[in-house]
Amino acid sequence: MLTKYCFGAHAETGAVTAAVKEGEALPYFSAVKEGTGTRFCCPLGEDDVVFGLGETMRGIDKRGGRYVSFNTDNPHHEDDMPSLYGSHNFFILDGERTFGAFFDTPARIIFEIDYEGSGKIDILAEQGVTVYLVEGENANDIARQFLAAIGRSYLPPLWAFGFGQSRWGYKTEKDVRKIAARYKKAGMPLEYICLDIDYMDRYIDFTVNKKRFPDMKGLVKEMKARGVRLVPIVDAGIKIEPHNPVYEEGVKEGYFCKNLEGKDFQAAVWPGMTHFPDFLQAKAREWFGRQYKFYTDLGFEGFWNDMNEPAIFYSEYNTSRLGDKSCGDPLYKGGARLSDYKSFTHNVDGKMVSHWDVHNIFGAKMTEASSEGLEKLLDKRFLLFSRSSYIGAHRYGGIWTGDNSSTFHMLRRNVTMMPGLNMCGFLFSGADTGGFGGNCSRELLLRWLAFSVFTPLMRDHTTIFTRHQECFRYRGKRDFGSILSLRYRLLPYIYSEFMKAALSSDLYIRPLAFAYPKDARARHIEDELLVGDSLLAAPVLEKGAKGRKVYLPEEMTEVRWNGKEFLTREVPQGERFVTVPLGEVVFYIRKGKCIPVGKGGMNTKEIDLSDVTLLGGGSEYTQYLDDGFTRECSAKNLRVLSK
Ligand code: MIG
C-alpha cells in the first residue's frame, strides 16, 4: 500500500503514475523544516539492511554511505562519490520494521544512511518533496508495489538484448565495417555497433559527417543485412548555428532554456556553444522527438542519449573550464560549476523555474522526448538508453551507468548497482563492459563479460583515450567466443524473464535477500544476484582468482558452460569453492525451477526462441514468446513448457 505525504511544493516529476491517497502524518520518520526544505530522520536497527537508491556507489546494502541526488557528469566513480548521472530516491528499509520510501523531488536531496555510524537514516530535501511510503509483507513485495505505482518499464526489442560493441573513436564507415568483419572472422556473435560523437558533423546532433560517412543510409542497410545494427549517440545541447533548421526553429518557438536576462542560455559542450532544449515544456519535447526522423529516415532503430545531466564544459557566465571547487562538497569533482545550474531557467506551464530547482529531471525529460518521438516515427519497439535519469524515465528507455573504468572494483560495483536500479524501475540497464576509462586486461574483460551476459544491456564500450577493447583484439579468442555465445544460448531465458518482469511489475535482477528473507547470511550477500525467477549468478570478481566461494541458500542445480555444452549437477545448500576458468561461466538454477536454453547464433536474427531445452530440477517453465519487436506485449504471449 502506498500513501503520500507532502512537504512543500515542487514541479511535477512524473515519477508516480498510480493514484495515491494522502496520509496525515508520515510514520517512521521525524520531519523538521530546514531552510527551504525538510530534514527527515529515522533510527536504524543494528541488523537493518537498506536497499535501493538506484545508480549509487557502495554496496547492495547502502549503509555507511552519503548519497547526493544531483545528476552529475563525473567519471570518478570512487566509493565515496556522492553523485552520479541519475537520481533514484527510493529505498527499502528491511529489518525490525520493513517499508519503502520514495522521496519525490526534482531538486537536490541528500541521503545519509548510517553515515559515520550514526545509527540512523538522515535525509535532507533541500526543497519541496513528496514522500511516498510503501508498506507490504516483505522487501520483495514492497519493491513490486513500488514498480506497479511508477508504471511499466520500457520494453526493448529482442535485438537490444544482443551483444553490442562500442568505442568512442569509430571515425569512418571503414572503421565500422572492420569491427563487424573482425567479429565475424573471429566467430564471435555481434548484434550492434554504437556510433559515438565521431559520426556527427562537428558534433552537431541530427547531422552526419559526409566525408567520413558518405552514405550512412547505405551503411545502415548493408550492416543490418549482415545482422549488425548501428546505434547513434545523441547529445542534449543544440549547437548555436544560424541556418541550421533545428537551431532556428528552437529559437523561434522559444524551445530553449533561458539565461538570467531572459535570452537563450549558452553553454559549451562538444559542438561548442549550444542551447539546451527546455525538455520540461511539452511542446519542446514534441519538437525534439520529431527531430529523430532524421535518424529513422536513415534506417536507425536504436539510440543512446548522452550529456543530459546536462554536462557543461563552461557557460556564458563562467568561461573557465574549471569544475566547481567552491560548492562546499569536498567530494564534488564534476565538470560543471554548480552556479551554472543556477543561471538558466525553464518554462513550466508558463511559470519561470530555475534549473537548479528541477535539475534532476532534465535528462529524464530528454528520454521522454526521444521515446515519444520514436513511438510516432517507428512502428516497432526500439532500443533507447540514456545516461542521465530520474524515476519515471524507466517507462521511456533504459540507462547505462556512465563512465566507469577498467578495474575489478568497478565490475563489483556493476554487480551491486543492478538490484537498486531494478528497484527504481530501470530493468533495462547495464554498465560499460570492460570499463570506459583505463586499459582493460584480457582477464578483466572476460570476467566482466561473464557477468554482463546476465544484464539486459550488454555492451562493451570504452573511451578514445584507451587501448582497443573489442573482444577480437585479445589473444585466446576461444574464451571470448565461449562467453559471448553463452549470451545467445541464454537469450530465450533472459528475454522471457525480462518481459515477464516488465509486464507484471516485477524485478528482473534482485538481491538474494529478497528471495530468502529468513536466511541471515543471504540477507547480506553482495556478490551474488538472482537473475529472473530461476537463476542465481555468482560472478568471479577478483583479479587472479581461479574461481570463488559461492553460498547457496538452498540446494540448486549447478550449471557449468564450457563453451560447448552445459554440464549440470545437483549441489547442496551451503558454501563451497567453485573453480571457474576464464572462458567458462558457472551459474545456478534454483530448487524446483527451470531455465530454457537455445542453440545460440551469431545474432538474434539467427536464434529461435521457441527451440529450447529446459535445464534445472523443475519440470515446467512459463516462457514469454513473441516476434521480438511487436508493440502489443501482454500475458497472451505466455506459454508453458514442460520437460
Ligand atoms: O565528454 O561521446 O559517457 O560513453 O563515449 C564525454 C563521448 C562524452 C560521455 C559518455 C561516453 C561517451 C563520451 N561522452
pLDDT tens digits for range 249-282: 999 999 999 999 999 999 999 999 999 999 999 9
Question: 306: CA distance to ligand 1 center in Å?
Answer: 7
Contacts of 342 (CB under 8 A, 6+ apart): 354, 355, 356
CB of 168 shorter than 6 A to ligand 1? yes
pLDDT for the residue numbered 321: 57
pLDDT in tens, 469-504: 999 999 999 999 999 999 999 999 999 999 999 999
Report how far residue 305's alpha carbon sits from residue 297's, in angstroms, rounded to the nearest whole number.
18
CB of 402 shorter than 6 A to ligand 1? yes
Report how far residue 532's alpha carbon sits from residue 506's, in angstroms, rounded to the nearest whole number.
9
Neighbours of 202 (CB within 10 A): 12
Report how far residue 41's alpha carbon sits from residue 112's, in angstroms, rounded to the nearest whole number.
10
Contacts of 636 (CB under 8 A, 6+ apart): none
Which residue, by CA, sits nearest to atom 5 of ligand 1?
Answer: 168
pLDDT for the residue numbered 558: 98
Tell me: pLDDT of 45 over 80: yes
Q: Is the peptide bond before 310 cis (omega within 30 degrees of 0)?
A: yes
Question: 90: CA distance to ligand 1 center in Å?
Answer: 27
Tell me: pLDDT of 70 over 90: yes
CB of 197 shorter than 6 A to ligand 1? yes
Using DSSP, state whether 605 is helix, strand or coil.
Answer: helix
Ligand 1 atom nearest to 168, measured from its CA: 5
pLDDT for the residue numbered 335: 55
Which residue, by CA, sits nearest to atom 13 of ligand 1?
Answer: 168
Question: 529: CA distance to ligand 1 center in Å?
Answer: 29
The answer to whether the Cα torsion of 517, 539, 503, 616 is positive or negative is negative
Ligand 1 atom nearest to 235, measured from its CA: 2
Question: 197: CA distance to ligand 1 center in Å?
Answer: 8
pLDDT in tens, 406-440: 999 999 999 999 999 999 999 999 999 999 999 99
Best of 73, 401, 463 to mutate for ligand 1, by most ligand atoms within 8 A of CB? Answer: 463
Instruction: Identify the band that residue 339 occupies on the pLDDT scale cut at 50, 70 and 90.
Output: confident
Instruction: Identify the band that residue 336 occupies on the pLDDT scale cut at 50, 70 and 90.
Output: low
CB of 374 shorter than 6 A to ligand 1? no
Task: Report the range of poorest mean pLDDT among 320-329, 529-538, 618-627.
Answer: 320-329
Q: Which residues of 564-592 are buried (b: 16+ CB within 10 A; e: fewer)?
A: eebeeeeeeeeeeebebbbbbbbbbbbbe
Which residue, by CA, sits nearest to atom 6 of ligand 1?
Answer: 307
User: Across the chain, what does the average pLDDT equal?
Assistant: 96
Computed on alpha carbons and rounded to an integer, the radius of gyration of the chain in Å comes to: 24
CB of 413 shorter than 6 A to ligand 1? no
CB of 479 shorter than 6 A to ligand 1? no
Q: Which residues pair with 123 in a beta bridge?
A: 40, 111
Average the pLDDT over 317-328 and give the result: 58
Which residue, by CA, sits nearest to atom 12 of ligand 1?
Answer: 168
Ligand 1 atom nearest to 335, measured from its CA: 1
- Per-residue CA distances from 188 to 84, 191, 600 (Å): 33, 10, 11
Of residues 326 and 194, more confidently modeled: 194
Best of 306, 309, 399, 433 to mutate for ligand 1, by most ligand atoms within 8 A of CB? Answer: 306
Ligand 1 atom nearest to 304, measured from its CA: 4
Best of 85, 231, 403 to mutate for ligand 1, by most ligand atoms within 8 A of CB? Answer: 403
Entry pTM: 0.97
Question: 76: CA distance to ligand 1 center in Å?
Answer: 14
Average the pLDDT over 612-619 and give the result: 98
Using DSSP, state whether 271 is helix, strand or coil.
Answer: coil
According to DSSP, residue 117 is labeled G
Q: Take residue 137 and report the three cell numbers written for it.
A: 509483507
Annotated catalytic sites, by residue? 306, 309, 403
Question: 208: CA distance to ligand 1 center in Å?
Answer: 18
Amino acid at 27: P
Report how far residue 550's alpha carbon sits from residue 138's, in angstroms, rounded to the nearest whole number.
25
Question: 241: CA distance to ligand 1 center in Å?
Answer: 22
Best of 71, 193, 196 to mutate for ligand 1, by most ligand atoms within 8 A of CB? Answer: 196
CB of 235 shorter than 6 A to ligand 1? no
Ligand 1 atom nearest to 196, measured from its CA: 2
Question: 57: CA distance to ligand 1 center in Å?
Answer: 20
Ligand 1 atom nearest to 306, measured from its CA: 10
pLDDT in tens, 185-227: 999 999 999 999 999 999 999 999 999 999 999 999 999 999 9
Ligand 1 atom nearest to 461, measured from its CA: 4
- DSSP assignment of 192-234 equals EEEE-GGGSBTTBTT---TTT-TTHHHHHHHHHHTT-EEEEEE
CB of 167 shorter than 6 A to ligand 1? no
Ligand 1 atom nearest to 311, measured from its CA: 1
Orientation angle between helical segments 442-452 and 408-423, nearest 10 degrees? 20
Question: 366: CA distance to ligand 1 center in Å?
Answer: 17
CB of 309 shorter than 6 A to ligand 1? no
CB 14 within 8 A of CB 392: yes
CB of 196 shorter than 6 A to ligand 1? yes
Report how far residue 321's alpha carbon sits from residue 298's, in angstroms, rounded to the nearest whole number.
36
Instruction: Identify the band that residue 327 occupies on the pLDDT scale cut at 50, 70 and 90.
Output: very low
Q: Which residues pair with 347 in a beta bridge?
A: 352
CB of 387 shorter than 6 A to ligand 1? yes
Average the pLDDT over 56-79 and give the result: 95
